[in-house]
Amino acid sequence: MLERLAPQVKTQETQSLGSDDCEIGFALSDEKEHVMLSRPTRCICIRILEFAALVLFSSLFLAWLALSSTRTTGAPFPAASPLSVDVDHLWAQYSPYFPVAKYKPLPRGCKVSQVNIIQRHGSRFPTLGAGVAIQVSLARLLRARNFTDPRLAFLANYTYELGQDDLVALGASESFSAGALQFERYRDIVRHGNLPFVRASSSKRVVESATNWTAGFASASNEMFKPKVSLILLEYLNDTLTNKMCPNAGNANEQTHHWQSIFARPIVHRLNQAAPGANLVDIDIPYLMSLCPFETVAKRTKSHFCDLFTQQEFEAFEYYGDLNKFYGFGYGQTLGRVQGVGYVNELLARLTGKPVQDHTQTNRTLDSSPVTFPLNRSIYVDFSHDNTMVAIYAALGLFQQPKHLDPAHPDPDRTWMVSRMVPFSGRMVTEKVQCSGKTDQFVRILVNDAVEPLEFCGGKHGLCELDAFVQSQGYARSDGAGDFEKCFA
Ligand SMILES: *[C@@H]1O[C@H](CO)[C@@H](O)[C@H](O)[C@H]1NC(C)=O
Ligand SMILES: *[C@@H]1O[C@H](CO)[C@@H](O)[C@H](O)[C@H]1NC(C)=O
Ligand SMILES: *[C@@H]1O[C@H](CO)[C@@H](O)[C@H](O)[C@H]1NC(C)=O
Ligand SMILES: *[C@@H]1O[C@H](CO)[C@@H](O)[C@H](O)[C@H]1NC(C)=O
Ligand SMILES: *[C@@H]1O[C@H](CO)[C@@H](O)[C@H](O)[C@H]1NC(C)=O
Ligand SMILES: *[C@@H]1O[C@H](CO)[C@@H](O)[C@H](O)[C@H]1NC(C)=O
C-alpha cells in the first residue's frame, strides 16, 4: 500500500563530485548524485576533456597496438591466488561486506524488543565520476611503450568493462543475505501485522538493496513474512538517509592530498619504471588501486590489478579512505556530523515511542504521520549511503579517536577504519533491550556485528540504559548545537 509512496527518480541520478575538487572528489566522494553547478563543475569539465583526449589517444594507440607484433612480453602471468582476507579487508569503502566480529548474544534474561537497522547499499560499480577518473589513469598507464614487469603483461590486451553506479550481483546478494540473517536473528519480534518498516533513499542502487533485503527476509521465513519497501525518500528533498543538505560542508582534500603525496610517490616510481612512457602521477595511484576492489566485486574473481600492489600499499589505500571520511563527514569536518543528526533524532523517536523532534534534515510532514513514520513497529530498516552513515556514527559519538587522524602518520591502533565502518552493505543495528527484573530498558549498538562500547552513556558490555543513551545525544537533540544553521549561513 505504501510502496512507492514517492515516485522514484532516476533521471536525477547523475553523479557529481559534490564539494570535492577534481582530484579526490571522483574516487572517494562516491555517494553524491546531484550535479552541483559550482566550483567542481570546472574540474569535471577539465577532467572530461582530458578523458576525451585520452580516449582518442588510446583508440589510436590500440589501433597501433593491433598492428604491432612486438608488444606482448609473453612473460608467464603469476598464478591467481585466492583473495587474501587481509587485503580484501583493506579496500576502505570499497570492501565487500564482512562481519567485524561474531554476533554476541545478550546477557541471560535480556531480550531484544525493538531493532533499528541502517544499512549501506551493496557492492556496486564505480560511480560516473570515479569511472571517468579511473579511465583517465588507465589510459595513462596504457601509453607505455612496453611493460618490463610481467605482472603488467595483461595490460597488452586489456579492456575496461565495468558499468556505472549500479549494484553488481554480489551487491544484490549481500543485501539479500542481510535480510535473511536479520530475520533469523530477530524472528521472535516479527508478527503478521507487525512487519519491518523499510525506507530507502531514492538512488536506484539504494532502493534495489532495500528490495533485495526484503526478498532475503521473506525467503528466510519461507515466505511467511513478506515486508515491502514502505517509503522512498527523494534525495533532492529533505532526506535523513543522504547527505545533500549542507552546502557549506567542507571536504577532505587537504588531508588526502597530503597522504597521497607520501604513499603514492614510490608506487608511481615503480610503475613508471615497469611501464616506460606511462608517466603516471600521484593521483593515478588511488584510482588504479581502486580497480582491484571494483573489478573483484564485479567479476567475483580477483582482479589483475590486485597483484600490482603490496599489502602495505593497500594499508595506505585504506588510510586514504579513512582520512577521506574522517575529514569529509566525521570528527575532522566541522559540518560533518550535523548531517547525521536527522537520523539520530528519528532513532530517538523510535526508541522512546515519542514524536520526532528535529529541525534539520527530516521531512516534518512525513515524520509526523503514523503512516509514513509509525512508532509502533518492532523492526525499522533504512537504506542509505556510506557518507551519511559516517556522519551518523559521528553524531552519535561512535568511533571517537584520541586525536584527529594525522595525514602523514597512520596510527596502527586507530579504530577509525572505513572498511570496518562502512563496507558495501555495511550496517549499524540499534537494539532496544528488555531484561527480566529490571524496569529500565537498554540500548545496544552493533556496527557490522561488533558491539560498540557506548562509553559516552556508561555502557557496560555495550549496554546503556535507554535514558542515559537519550541524555548522551545532546548534539542531536539540540539540532547540532547551531551547526545546521552554519550549513547555509
Ligand atoms: C622497452 O622499451 C625500452 C625503451 O624504449 C627499451 O629499451 C626496451 O628494450 C624495451 N623492452 C622490450 C622488452 O621491448
Ligand atoms: C584479447 O582479449 C579478447 C577479449 O577479451 C580475446 O578475445 C582475444 O583473444 C585476446 N587477444 C589476445 C592476443 O590475447
Ligand atoms: C500501529 O498503529 C496503526 C494505527 O495508527 C495500526 O493500524 C497498526 O495496526 C499498528 N501496528 C502495530 C504493529 O501495532
Ligand atoms: C535484487 O534486486 C533486483 C532489482 O529489484 C533484482 O533484479 C534481483 O533479482 C535481486 N537479487 C536478489 C539476490 O534478490
Ligand atoms: C516531504 O514529503 C512530502 C511527501 O513525500 C513531499 O511531498 C514534500 O515535497 C517533502 N518536502 C520536503 C521539503 O522534503
Ligand atoms: C525541510 O528542511 C528544512 C530545513 O530544516 C525546513 O526548513 C523545512 O521546513 C523542511 N520541510 C519539511 C516539509 O519538513
State how far Cα 91 lies from the chain centre.
11
Q: In a 3-state reduction of DSSP, which class is residue 294? A: helix
Q: Is 177 in the pocket of ligand 4 (CB under 6 A)?
A: no
| Helix, strand, coil % over all residues of the chain, rounded to 5 | 45, 10, 45
Encode pLDDT of 95-123 as tens digits: 999 999 999 999 999 999 999 999 999 99
Phi, psi of 246 (to 5 degrees): -130, 80
Quote the ligand 4 centre to 257 CA distance (angstroms): 38
Among 20, 239, 358, 386, the active-site one is 386
d(CA 66, CA 359): 61
Let me know if 307 is a catalytic residue.
no
C-alpha cell at 488: 547555509
Ligand 5 pocket mutation pick from 8, 231, 234 by most atoms within 8 angstroms of CB: 234
Q: What is the pLDDT of residues 350-392, one digit of tens each?
A: 999 999 999 999 999 999 999 999 999 999 999 999 999 999 9
Report the amino acid identity of residue 5.
L
Whether the predicted pLDDT of 5 surpasses 50: no
- The model's pLDDT over 216-234, given as tens digits with 9 standing for 90+, comes to 999 999 999 999 999 999 9
**For the segment 188-222, what is each residue's pLDDT rounded down to a tens digit?**
999 999 999 999 999 999 999 999 999 999 999 99
Query: Which protein residue's CA is at the shortest distance from atom 5 of ligand 6?
Result: 360
**CATH number of the domain located at residue range(s) 88-125+174-243+313-486 in this protein:** 3.40.50.1240
Is any ligand 4 atom within 6 A of the Cβ of residue 172?
yes
Catalytic (active site) residue 322:
no
- Return the ligand number nearest the Cα of 168: 4
Please identify which of the residues 30, 88, 121, 239 carries the catalytic annotation: 121
- Residue 245 CA to residue 42 CA, distance in Å, equals 22
Contacts of 334 (CB under 8 A, 6+ apart): 249, 250, 483, 486
Q: Domain limits of the chain?
A: 12-66, 88-125+174-243+313-486
Q: How confident is the model at residue 87 (pLDDT cuts 50, 70, 90)?
A: low
Which residue, by CA, sits nearest to atom 10 of ligand 4?
212
How far apart, in whole angstroms, are the C-alpha atoms of residue 197 and residue 205? 19
Query: Model-level pTM?
Result: 0.86
For 274-297, what is the mean pLDDT?
97
8 A C-beta contact, residue 383 and residue 437: no
CA of 72 from ligand 2 middle (Å) equals: 12
Nearest protein CA to atom 4 of ligand 1, as residue: 276
